[in-house]
Copies of this chain bind each other. A is one copy, B any other.
Amino acid sequence: MARTGRRPGNQDTREAILAAAREAFAERGYDGASIRQIATSAGVDPALVHHYFGAKDQLFLATMEAPINPGEILPKIFEPGLDGVGERLVRTFVGVWDSPTGTTVAALVRSAMQHEWSARMLREFLVTQILRRATRTLNLDPAEAPKRASLVASQMIGLAMIRYILKLEPLASMTEDEIVRNVAPTIQRYLAEPLPEA
């Protein structure tokens, strides 16, 4: 990581805030954690938390060392609407995973397999940073959105595992286009088609 020009004292403050935030998010979840309480735990003024990290979602991404910013990539996937959303979602995620960033994503997923703390953070991330944006931007029925999102997550996390961690062929070396052709219809169905009734 590039060294910043910050003095060591400020670096310590940042670390103290991050440590307090990790504990707060893991214990109380994203919604239950507050900047004010995190600031108190870290022994700093809430304004300093905002100064270093911005809003709560940015602080949350920083504690996860999230390699992507959902606020940047998700609007491109969801804003054009339900038409073609499966293709945009699969293409974007495979693009990120195939980039150098993918290694960090794989590390996050691996960690979530091992530690309940990481699993909880990943759940919170999926629900608060991805599902909520999808629900709002795509105008999903809030009663159905969590079901749709967990189905999408099952296919996308499984795709990442098979391609990048288990490296099962031929999926491990399929082109992005071929993955999109095969998997996008699944995501499209989970997000946009009527959910099957009993």
A55-63, A67-75, A162-170: which lies at the interface: A162-170
- Name the prevailing secondary structure of the A interface residues: helix
Chain B residues near A153 (CB-CB < 8 A): 158, 162, 166, 168, 171
Count of A interface residues, CB-CB < 8 Å: 46
**Mask of A143-158 contacts with B, CB within 8 angstroms, 1/0:** 0001100110111111
A5-13, A17-25, A178-186: which lies at the interface: A178-186
CB-nearest residue of chain B relative to A119? B166
| A52-111 interface (Cβ within 8 A of B) | 109-110
Distance A172 CA – B123 CA, assembled complex (angstroms) = 12
Q: How far is the CB of A106 from chain B (nearest CB, A)?
A: 9
4 A-B pairs with the lowest CB-CB distances in the bound complex, closest first:
A158-B158, A150-B171, A181-B196, A154-B158
10 additional contacts, CB 8 Å, given A119-B165, A154-B155?
A109-B113, A122-B166, A150-B162, A153-B162, A154-B171, A154-B183, A155-B155, A156-B158, A181-B196, A186-B186
Q: Footprint of B on A, CB under 8 Å?
A: 109-110, 112-114, 119, 122-123, 126-127, 146-147, 150-151, 153-159, 161-163, 165-172, 174, 177-178, 181-183, 185-186, 189-190, 195-198
